[in-house]
Amino acid sequence: MGTSRPPPWRIKIRPVNRWLPGVARVATISLLVFLAVFVSLRVAGPYVISTGLVRSGMEDSLSRWTGYSAEISGRPVIEFWPTPRITINKITVRQKDGDNKLFGTIESISAEFSLIDAFRGKASFHDFNILRPNLLLTRERDGTIDWTDEGQLAQAIIGAREQNGEETLDAALDADIGTITVEDGTLDVADVASGKTYRFDSVTADIGWPRLSSPLTAVLIARMNGLDIKLDFSSRSPLLAFGGKNAPLKAALTSTLVTAKFDGVANIARLFNLQGSMSLGIPDLPALLTWAGQALPDAATLKAFSIDSDVISAANGFRFDNVSLGMNGSSARGAMDVSFMPGKRPKLGGTLAFDQINFKSLFDAFVVRLAAGEDRGAPEGGALQALDIDLRLSARQADLVPFKLSNVGASIIVSSNEARFDIGDSQFEGGALTAYIAAKRGDFDGGGKLQMSIRGADFAGLIERLNLQGPLPLTTGSLDLAVSTALPIWKAGPADVTGNIRFRAQAGSLPGFDSDAVRSEAAKADFFSLNAVSHRAFAFDRFDIEADLDDGAAQIRRGLIEGPKETITLSGVIPYKSGGLALSGKIAATDPANDAAFPALPFFVGGSWPDPVLSALPGNQQKQQQQGATK
């Protein structure tokens, strides 16, 4: 018999058995050595490392980083477990110049430091925790902050360069940072231009910045004027961003009153050179204005506002594409642009297409009612006085109280001398409506005017839908209105306008005026309620009323209601400010050949609308009785 050979797997496993215990021993020994060194450094640290060295190193580090003079008055505390960390208390930071101006105070700063560097007589720190900093900054008239350029951070910002769309930094300017945590801070920013000081309380921040040359992410939470605000910020080129250069960044502002987002390339110093996407949402505009200490009369009509858009810088301004605009539940899409031409007022232009819109909200959106000197208004006159507007609007449905329009084409034009709103085309109650409102003079407190023209509209349907009372014409007709006022248009009421109005129609009826009943009652009574005796309508073939408006009253210049057999003529005054009536009228035969059948009946209309009182003029009763006896 031959000799048997061992299985192949036994031949392969033997070499592994020979070298595996050796690797395990080396790994175990290395781990034990590392742990011994780790523990030894922390045990020996308190005896070898000088507290004064670490403290002075922290002072030097703060001064070097900020460019200011940092002084520590509190006693430092050093911990070595689980990581070496120093905490310093009562820090004061001042400018280095002769003014010795206070920049801020900090209750305490703690940071991790390197044991190896400390053993070598150096101090290097990272991963900072800052407790209750109180900083004071000044924003100069040119928009810059009074921050020194002598510190390491400022030098890195100055030295950062853009190359192929990326941030580059010389190695000599680079440094480790790690994380920065801020707790319960306060920031005061004094604005020289406005004379106001903006205060941010309860500031909390969590900043991740491994090195100066690395991307930065930050989350900041603060309270301003009682409002909690959260800012999420990130940039892969933070030094370029802080240096007022174009840099890619993402930012999101969140609060209960306003939210905003931006993702793209921006210049945070000048807010120009934008390219990216942005959004802004204001769920409660009146509440936001109240928080900001501003006022907008009737702002409640513009409750909510939002906009989403792509934005890109253009010549002397910005271009907004793919705009999605929302106001009080209405939405629109389109494009807009804002230009800032040297020596001229900023100008907003564009085209927006709405599904449905309330024009009252739109007026308030563009601050048509905010003027110089207005109670609770901005003393400089508000946004309208500082901005030119040229917007083209369209809407499938629109509300222009008390009217409802469809297929509307409109525009808003605001210049230094006039603000004008035009409805160039719209469908209204089966007809067409055009109108414009204009406010005059540079400060817009010099009055304004309104012109409106309606053609071929179903006024019978409108009167029924609005539930209007009184003898009003049920017909398809046309109306022209032209009024003006010397008061600011946002203050003017119906009694403050002057102008004229004309209504014309063809066939229709006038409910509440029964000519036969009026003639019969006039023969018996000196006066009577028109509604009490009129149970039938007066049919007409022509309706033409024209009046002048002034001081809360309408002076009838022409009043003609022509029926197939009888015609009513009217003249006099309707003091609509008080709701009264003072009209003279006459019912007569339409065809003079029928005067005998329909003798003239002069009358007077008084009382108040919608229940007028009619009285026949003296002698009418006697004439009516004589005519009745003759018949």
Evaluate whether 313 touches 272 at the Cβ level (below 8 Å): yes
Whether the per-residue pLDDT at 496 is higher than 70: the answer is yes
- pLDDT for 348-397, tens place per residue? 999 999 998 888 766 665 544 444 334 444 444 455 567 788 999 999 99
Over the range 489-519, which residues count as b (16 or more CB within 10 Å of their CB) and which as e? bbebeeebbebbbebbbeebbbbbbbbebbb
At residue 446, the pLDDT reads 62
Which of 47-61, 108-122, 267-281, 358-372 holds the top average pLDDT? 267-281
Eight-class DSSP state of 249: E
Eight-class DSSP state of 384: G
Q: What is the C-alpha separation between 178 and 83, in angstroms, rounded?
A: 15
Whether the per-residue pLDDT at 12 is higher than 60: the answer is no
At residue 539, the pLDDT reads 95
Per-residue pLDDT, averaged over 595-622, amounts to: 83
Evaluate whether 400 touches 408 at the Cβ level (below 8 Å): no
pTM for the whole structure: 0.73
CA dihedral 56, 59, 64, 66 (to 10 degrees): 180
Q: Where are the beta strands (DSSP E) in 519-595?
A: 527-529, 538-540, 542-550, 553-562, 566-574, 582-589
Mean pLDDT over each residue of the chain, to the nearest integer: 81
Which of 179-193, 209-223, 279-293 holds the top average pLDDT? 209-223
- pLDDT for 426-484, tens place per residue? 999 999 999 988 876 544 556 788 899 999 999 998 988 888 887 889 999 999 999 98
- Residue 15: band (very low, low, confident or very high) from pLDDT cuts 50, 70, 90: low
At residue 300, the pLDDT reads 62
Whether the per-residue pLDDT at 30 is higher than 60: the answer is no
Per-residue pLDDT, averaged over 599-616, amounts to: 90
Eight-class DSSP state of 580: B
At residue 335, the pLDDT reads 96
Per-residue pLDDT, averaged over 171-197, amounts to: 89
Q: Which residues contact 596 (CB under 8 A, 6 or more apart)?
A: none
Q: Which residues contact 123 (CB under 8 A, 6 or more apart)?
A: 53, 54, 56, 57, 58, 60, 61, 113, 117
At residue 316, the pLDDT reads 83
- Residue 267: band (very low, low, confident or very high) from pLDDT cuts 50, 70, 90: confident
- pLDDT for 397-435, tens place per residue? 998 877 889 999 999 888 766 778 899 999 999 999 999
Whether the per-residue pLDDT at 69 is higher than 50: the answer is yes
Sequential DSSP letters for 140-200: -TTS-B---S-SHHHHHHHH-EEETTEEE--GGG--EEEEEEEEEEEEEEEETTT--EEEE
79-88, 351-360, 496-505: which has the minimum mean pLDDT?
Answer: 79-88
Task: Reduce the secondary structure of 337-362 to three states and give it as a string.
Answer: EEECCCCCCCEEEEEEEEEEEEHHHH
- Percentage of the chain modeled with pLDDT above 90: 41
Whether the per-residue pLDDT at 131 is higher than 70: the answer is yes
At residue 118, the pLDDT reads 57
Per-residue pLDDT, averaged over 578-587, amounts to: 89
Q: What is the C-alpha separation between 301 and 357, in angstroms, rounded?
A: 12
Whether the per-residue pLDDT at 322 is higher than 60: the answer is yes
Q: Which residues contact 324 (CB under 8 A, 6 or more apart)?
A: 307, 308, 309, 331, 332, 333
Per-residue pLDDT, averaged over 215-223, amounts to: 96
Q: What is the C-alpha separation between 365 and 412, in angstroms, rounded?
A: 12
Which residue from 203, 117, 228, 213 is spatially nearest to 167, judged by alpha carbons?
213
Whether the per-residue pLDDT at 564 is higher than 80: the answer is yes
Whether the per-residue pLDDT at 42 is higher than 60: the answer is no
Dihedral over Cα of 565, 571, 577, 581: its sign: negative
CA 286 to chain centre: 10
DSSP-based three-state secondary structure for 467: coil
Eight-class DSSP state of 2: P
DSSP-based three-state secondary structure for 457: strand
Whether the per-residue pLDDT at 34 is higher than 70: the answer is no
Token pair for 248: 């890619």
Eight-class DSSP state of 269: T
Token pair for 207: 């900043």
At residue 143, the pLDDT reads 61
Q: Residue 409: beta bridge partners? A: 394, 425
Q: At what angle do helices 152-159 and 51-66 cross, to 10 degrees?
A: 40
Token pair for 58: 């922290």
Backbone angles phi, psi at 618, to 5 degrees: -50, 140
Which residue from 56, 42, 67, 22 is spatially nearest to 158, judged by alpha carbons?
67
At residue 547, the pLDDT reads 95
- Residue 273: band (very low, low, confident or very high) from pLDDT cuts 50, 70, 90: confident
Q: What is the C-alpha separation between 131 and 108, in angstroms, rounded?
A: 5
Q: Report the alpha-carbon angle 60-66-69, nearest 5.
A: 55
Whether the per-residue pLDDT at 556 is higher than 90: the answer is yes
Q: Write the burial class of residue 547 (CB in 10 Å: 0-12 exposed, 13-18 middle, 19+ buried).
A: buried
Q: How many CB atoms lie within 10 A of CB 47?
A: 6
Comparing 331 with 3, the larger pLDDT belongs to 331
Q: What is the C-alpha separation between 246 and 162, in angstroms, rounded?
A: 9
DSSP-based three-state secondary structure for 303: coil
Evaluate whether 91 touches 70 at the Cβ level (below 8 Å): yes
Strand pairing of 102-113 and 125-139? antiparallel
Per-residue pLDDT, averaged over 219-248, amounts to: 92
Comparing 374 with 595, the larger pLDDT belongs to 595
Comparing 130 with 489, the larger pLDDT belongs to 130
Q: What is the C-alpha separation between 65 and 128, in angstroms, rounded?
A: 13
Whether the per-residue pLDDT at 9 is higher than 60: the answer is no
Q: Where are the domains of the chain?
A: 295-369+386-428, 476-616
